[in-house]
Structures are given as C-alpha cells and as structure tokens.
Amino acid sequence: MIELRQITKQFGQGASAVRALDSISLHVPEGCIYGVVGSSGAGKSTLIRCVNLLERPSSGKVIVRGKDLTAMAESDLRRERRHIGMIFQHFNLLSSRTVFGNIALPLELAGMSSAEIETMVLPLLELTGLSDKRNSYPSQLSGGQKQRVAIARALASRPRVLLCDEATSALDPATTVAILNLLKDINRKLGLTILMITHEMDVVKSICDRVAILSQGQLIEENDVEQFFLSPKTELAREFVRTAIHEKRPNDLESGFQTEPAPGARPVIRITFVGRTVGQPLITKASRQFGVDISIMQADIETVNGKSMGFLMVELFGSETAVDEAIKYLRSQEVSVEVVGYVH
C-alpha cells in the first residue's frame, strides 16, 4: 500500500547540511497498522511527510496505492493526496469553525453541495463519538475530542491511508488509550492502512502489527510486532521494548551484575514467550529435569497488539553443566531465550 524505496532527505547544503533520512526503504501492507519509533530528531516527521510529499525526498521513490507519487505532476499529486489522510500531535483545527465545519472543510474544498456534505459528515461524527459536539468550537473541547475531530476530518475524503504524526503525544494516558482504540476500530471497520510515527513504544505495543526503528535517519530494525518483542536484534530495539514492558535493567536489581561470564558467576536469562501460561511450567520442568534452582528476578505479562506475552528474567543456580543443559532445554522450546549477563 505504501512503499518507500531508498528515500534520502537532506536539508541545506555544504557544511551545514543535515541528512534527516538516509536511504530508507519500507513497505506498509494494505490494512496494516505500521509503527515507526525513534527518539526525538531521528527523522520520523520528515519520513511521514515524505509519504504524501509534504516534504519532497532528495532522492528515492514514494509509491502509494501502486502509484509513484514522486513522478507525478502537481495536479495529479493533489488528487492522489485526497486518498492519504493525516493527523498531527497538535490537531491543527480551525478555531473559527465548529466541529461540523472542521470536518466538512475538505469536502467544501472539493466542491460538494451542503446536502452531500451533511450525509458524509454525520456518519463521521457518529464513528468518532462526536455527534453531540457538532456545533461546539475547538476551544470548548478536550484534547481527546480535538483529536477525534482531526480524525473525522482526515477521514472525510475517504482516504485509504492515514498518516499519524505523534497523534497521541499531547494526550494523557487514558485519552491516549481511547484514541488508539478508535484508530484500531477505524482500521478494522474501514480497512484503512495506518502509518503511525511515535516516540512511545507503548503506542506500538497497543495497536501496531509491524514496527520499524528509526535512528539518526536510518532504519535499523523492522519486524512483525510480536517477533520484535520476542527477539529485538539491536540494543536500541531492546531499549524500546524495555520501556514498553517496564523492565528494569538487571544491574538495578542485583548489585553483582556483569555482562561477561566469570568463574562461579550465575547466568541471568531473559525468557520471552507468547501466551500467559507458557513460562512457569517450562521453568519448573527445567529446574526439576536438570537439578538447577531458578529464581525469578522479574516477571511481567503484557498485551502486545491484543496478544498476551510473557517476559521473565531469572537467575540460574547449579553446576555449570546443569545450567548449560537447562538453558539448552529452554532454547529448544517455544520461547525466546537470551543470556543477558551474570551475577556473582
């Protein structure tokens, strides 16, 4: 649905040039909720603005719904942009217009009659839970309600793609959950493809099907969300996962923690699995079968894109051979196992 091919974006020239995006390629399948996470300044906003060519890439191709936007004449591009909705962190509503007036704006600009506009806006008010606010002005609304208006406005021209630039970053946690649920609902009901960029891994955990990590303009890791949580490959990905599962670092839990093995040091392993009931029986079995004691340092069950996932960090006590055998056994099971370090 959205395909970026080797997108590079440079701002400025010469010594002061900033390369905001460095040869980014990614594919967002139809109907997918795709998250791009990265720290501030990573290039996320530049990336999402390149998708509808609000920002023109310095090189590379942007293909949306099978059409190469980068090769289009301005008039064709304007038409194509109607199929791409966008929402922002700060809502960008017109304060002089009512809720109805804000949602109707793109339809007025497209030259529709007021009767047609009415028949299109009413279901959107309904869908976004704003029916009783149609005559209110933005200043009379909460942040969550404002974002609902922005979503309804973005949907007015019946886009197939919705771009969200930090859409929940200005909202409190409860409102964030409500807006994310609304986006998921729209994704299901309308089959809308959603590309969201965010600095919050919690957003990805709640609703995304796939995720990519952007760092200093480069896409450093990309995966299905479940796989991403099961086995992040880069240190940055692990850091993002850690924030979403509220995992403490092992050196904050145990004073004698180190990353290198040493004689007499006990391994600390992280076990990640899908399902609520997978972890504990395996640990019990490994402990019995190989005669190792297993002590749980932290344990957490999280819902990742609607599925339960378990995150355990445990310390293994026993002879070196027994501990190795136990780890080997765990690795042969349907769980992801990683030795994170050792404790004295």
Ligand X SMILES: Nc1ncnc2c1ncn2[C@@H]1O[C@H](COP(=O)(O)OP(=O)(O)O)[C@@H](O)[C@H]1O
Binding residues (CB under 6 A) for ligand X: these are: 11-12, 18, 20, 38, 40-46
Give the one entry of ligand X, Mg ion, none that residue 20 binds, where binding means its C-beta sits below a cut-off of 5 to 8 angstroms depending on kind: ligand X
| Separation between Cα atoms, residue 67 and residue 71, nearest integer Å | 9
46 near Mg ion, judged by CB under 5 A? no
Of residues 14 and 66, the one with the C-beta less far from ligand X: 14
Of residues 11 and 300, the one with the C-beta less far from ligand X: 11
CB of 39 to ligand X, least distance (A): 7
Of residues 34 and 311, the one with the C-beta less far from Mg ion: 34
DSSP at 248: P
Pairing relation of β-strands 33-37 and 210-215? parallel
CB of 18 to ligand X, least distance (A): 5
Q: Which residue is nearest to Mg ion (CB)?
A: 45
Of residues 20 and 343, the one with the C-beta less far from ligand X: 20
Of residues 44 and 270, the one with the C-beta less far from Mg ion: 44
Question: Tokens standing for 17?
Answer: 């040039």
Give the one entry of Mg ion, ligand X, none that residue 318 binds, where binding means its C-beta sits below a cut-off of 5 to 8 angstroms depending on kind: none
Q: Which stretch binds Mg ion (CB under 5 A): 39-47, 91-99, 130-138, 297-305?
A: 39-47
CB of 197 to ligand X, least distance (A): 7
DSSP at 234: S
315: Cβ contacts below 8 Å, ≥ 6 apart: 254, 266, 267, 268, 294, 295, 297, 343
Length of the chain: 344
Question: Tokens standing for 33?
Answer: 């909720």
Pairing relation of β-strands 193-198 and 33-37? parallel
- DSSP-assigned beta bridge partners for residue 5: 61
Among positions 45, 52, 128, 206, the unique one binding Mg ion when judged by CB under 5 A = 45
DSSP at 113: -
Give yes or no for a contact between 33 and 197, defined as CB atoms under 8 angstroms apart: no
Instruction: Name the residues that contact Mg ion, by CB under 5 A.
Output: 44-45
